[in-house]
Amino acid sequence: MGQHTAGVDRVLRSFGCEVENFAATVNSDSTLTAHHFTDHDQFPVPDLILYQLSTGSPVGEFVLDHPARLVLNYHNITPAEAFDPWEPAVGAELDMARRQLARLVHRASAGIADSHYNAAELTALGLDDVVVAPIIARPSSRLAGDSAARDADTVLFVGRVAPNKRHEDLIKAVALLRSTRPSVHLDLVGAPSSQRYLTALEALVERLDIGDAVTFHGSVPDDALDRHYSTASVYASASEHEGFCVPLIEAMAAGLPIVARDAAAVPETLGDAGVLVPGPDAVAMAFALDRVLGDPTLRQSMVAAGKHRATSYSADHARQAMTDALRPLIEVG
């Protein structure tokens, strides 16, 4: 979200606005200057608060009580039921986050959502003035790897190791796929959000005896992430809940064909640039991966469609969409 917030900051300043960023946790190595929200009284009272909302937070309570005009930039909240079996405390927090969202919607005058999927949630809660502007992702500076340099049969997924991402369905698909494609390998990049979930995934890999076919990379720096995008053969996602899914855009920009579960905002972000599979269906996912890995003509058309789709989500386009979304709100102020 740091890249997106920095992009929004830039857009607001382009209007001539004076902008201050506040957060509950300030990252010292962030390029964006931010202050702890409890220091707000050291700064002029704002005319407008643009609140980046993706979970519950004490900042939300602060915003609820603040008299300034409120606009929500909504990135969706993970459904509590995804975490309940694994981390009940986190599930409870997500439930509270949803309740806080409902209160924020009543307080807000407008909303900006990353996707129509997210916008529908705000509308359902009663917010009428909602526009869609995608996340301002990091510029796609990586080079799409030469097809000859890609590791054949390498499947990549990028995302937090969290129950809603359904890593187990990718692992199951790879276990099935091994019978016909013994060299298939699954690279899972992302830090764990639930140690219990990660432990279960590792146990699943061990019990299925596919330890040589699955690698948990954890969190990696940007250059290592770019290498994964450049060397994989296909990007796969079994996630059951996404409000937008930046890795899909990054994978498309990097020239990867995509196989993804048909869920939440994934079809909207992917469009017709990737193969959607019903979920949870490990057999369908395995067949889809096998088809994409084994059909060069299909891969070529998917890569082309993905690169075309990714251009419409470039940082420049996203900034323009955010500019168009904010302009009427700034002018009203």
- If one asks whether residue 33 binds another protein (CB under 8 A), the answer comes out as no
Binding residues among 123-162 for another protein as defined by CB under 8 A: 132, 134
Read out DSSP for 93-104?
HHHHHHHHHHHH
Q: Which of 99, 312, 327, 332 binds another protein (CB under 8 A)?
A: 312
Closer Cβ to another protein, 85 or 218, answer by number? 85
- If one asks whether residue 186 binds another protein (CB under 8 A), the answer comes out as no
Report the nearest approach of another protein to the CB of residue 33 (Å).
29
- If one asks whether residue 86 binds another protein (CB under 8 A), the answer comes out as yes
Report the nearest approach of another protein to the CB of residue 11 (Å).
15
280 preceded by a cis bond (ω within 30 of 0): yes
**Strand, coil or helix: what is 50?**
strand
Q: Which of 1, 6, 80, 200 binds another protein (CB under 8 A)?
A: 200
Distance CA 93, CA 95 (A): 5
- If one asks whether residue 327 binds another protein (CB under 8 A), the answer comes out as no
CA angle, 39 as apex, 104 and 333 as ends, to 5°?
A: 50
109 Cβ neighbours under 8 A, 6+ residues apart: 69, 70, 71, 129
- If one asks whether residue 296 binds another protein (CB under 8 A), the answer comes out as no
Q: Is the dihedral of CA 6, 12, 17, 19 positive or negative?
A: negative
Beta bridge partners of 268: none
Q: Which of 12, 275, 310, 329 binds another protein (CB under 8 A)?
A: 275
Q: Which of 46, 60, 145, 274 binds another protein (CB under 8 A)?
A: 274
- If one asks whether residue 111 binds another protein (CB under 8 A), the answer comes out as no
Residue with tokens 């470039």: 314
Closer Cβ to another protein, 254 or 275, answer by number? 275
Residue type, 238: A
Q: Which of 71, 188, 273, 329 binds another protein (CB under 8 A)?
A: 273
Report CA-CA distances (Å) from 187 to 72, 174, 225, 318. Answer: 35, 11, 11, 29
**Strand, coil or helix: what is 277?**
strand
Helices and strands in the chain, H and E counts: 13, 12
Binding residues among 164-183 for another protein as defined by CB under 8 A: 168, 172, 175-176, 179
Task: Provide the binding-site residues for another protein, judged by CB under 8 A.
Answer: 84-86, 115-116, 120, 132, 134, 163, 168, 172, 175-176, 179, 196, 200, 203-204, 207-208, 262, 268, 271-278, 280-284, 286-288, 291, 298, 301-302, 304-305, 308-309, 312-313, 317, 320-321
